[in-house]
Amino acid sequence: MAKLSSAFFYARKLIRLTLNLSRPTLFRFALGHYYLNKDDLCVLENALNKGRDDALIHQFERRFAAEIGEGECVSYAAARMAFFDLLQVLGVKSGDEVILLGFTCSVMANAVLRTGASIVYSDLDEETYGSNPASIQRLLSPQTKMIVAQHSFGIPCRIHEIQQIARKHGVFLLEDCAISFGSKCDGVPLGRFGDAAIFSNDHTKPVNTLIGGLLYTEKKEISRAIRAIHQKHPDFTLDHQRDLFNRILFERAYYYPRRYERGDLLEAVGELLNKKKSQTRPVLLTDEYTSPQKSISASYPYPARLPSFLAKLGLLELERWGRTKALRMNRLRRFLEKVRSSGAEVKIPARYMDSSCEIVPLRFVYQAPDPGRNRALMSRFVDPSQFWFAAPVICCEYGLSDFEYQEGMCPTSERVSANIINWPFAVPDEFDRVLDESFQSVLANG
């Protein structure tokens, strides 16, 4: 019966995906490296075959850090791993508390729980979609060892106020810039307000190295301590690194407007074949979507170092960053103008209109008065199942309670999550007009 059920499940899925080929989704939130030419791919493959190249890694770390300030970066296979190492360096343990925003990803909560510490969830600031200083202030206790101030979607949170709270109480302040790179507050880049900051470079982020992340700090003692334990971490196996390279090739071909559905179909076939071969390792590092009790025996090392060939990919991405940044900021200006001129009753974060902030948007976000209708209209152009943050803690494989979140803890986060709409800005510039027309159509009818 189990075999029959499994066969039926995959048959139904393949039929559905085949039907979707006739009505392809235009936009999604991850965009492949369509710009890489054959020479670029040869360079990446050569770096893969060479193996660990510390000089290349350090070059990428220095180049990334230069975009933020005069501090140092240490790279990892994922930003959550940098976060975990920082918790270890600070001696966070059972009996301690870490304040996280209740509008986050399960991998952040997972890292805290691995230390034995407790998570205290702060509520959302509706004007910024980031951490709320008033909520943080209320939650402080003698057990608080770290405040994590999250900047969401490229929008700076009220970081000055949170910085003052952390300094007054002598609590370590980490800026979560995983989904915010390049934005500034009062002319200062995000990542420079706290004692340290983390950045993510997975395939949904502005600088896309498929997987990966970095810790940034201007405090020498922290960077020395982090590097001391970082150098002991393992690399991914060569087989896993080759899988990552093949994934880059796959997303280069299919993570592009009007090609996504073909990629879905190929992925589903590949998933079925891999199950038959009992191949279960997730190439894109999803084991921490479950609580530490379930994910502690991950199918890849945790923490792990960034593969060298992905550092080279990061350097290629940073060469394009100036142009990418300008495109995203221009799209934000156009979208805001369309909201103003349309008279649509959507609620955008007030921070979008704050002249003291320079926002490099990851996605365009707002609350819709009728989110169900809005999402249904959008589904002609965008896949709403990929929205962040449609729950206070996203990517929970088995439920929020795995991550110590209980309903009602963060009422503003829960209300905004129920109404949130995301528009992708990871769109090739040749589709600018189509993106604008799609957005305007939904505004006019939603």
- Tokens read off for 441: 């159509």
At residue 18 the predicted structure's pLDDT band, cuts being 50, 70 and 90, is: low
Q: Angle between the 54-66 and 308-319 helix axes, to the nearest 10 degrees?
A: 30
Side-chain-facing half-sphere of 14: CA atoms under 13 Å: 14
% of the chain with per-residue pLDDT over 70 = 92
Each residue's pLDDT tens digit, 227-256: 999 999 999 999 999 999 999 999 999 999
3-state secondary structure of 422: strand
Q: Print the SS3 string covering 48-62.
A: HHHCCCHHHHHHHHH
Torsion of CA 378, 282, 212, 435, to 10 degrees: -20
Q: For residue 91, what pLDDT is reported?
A: 98
Q: For residue 388, what pLDDT is reported?
A: 96
% of the chain with per-residue pLDDT over 90 = 84
- CATH number (3.40.50.880, 3.90.1150.10, 3.65.10.10, 3.40.50.300) of 320-445 reads 3.90.1150.10
Residue 4 has pLDDT above 50, yes or no: no
At residue 354 the predicted structure's pLDDT band, cuts being 50, 70 and 90, is: very high
Q: For residues 59-78, give the mean pLDDT.
A: 98
At residue 142 the predicted structure's pLDDT band, cuts being 50, 70 and 90, is: very high
Q: For residue 170, what pLDDT is reported?
A: 98
Tell me the pTM: 0.93
Q: Where are the alpha helices (DSSP H) in 231-259?
A: 238-254
Q: For residues 375-384, give the mean pLDDT.
A: 94
Residue 396 has pLDDT above 70, yes or no: yes
Are 117 and 145 in contact by the 8 Å Cβ rule? The answer is yes
Q: Are strands 172-176 and 144-150 parallel, antiparallel or unpaired?
A: parallel
Each residue's pLDDT tens digit, 252-271: 999 999 999 999 888 888 77
Q: For residues 408-415, give the mean pLDDT.
A: 98
Are 85 and 108 in contact by the 8 Å Cβ rule? The answer is no
Mean pLDDT across the chain: 92
> Could you tell me how far CA 13 lies from the centroid of its own chain?
27
Say which residue the tokens 């220095």 belong to. Answer: 62
Q: For residue 278, what pLDDT is reported?
A: 47
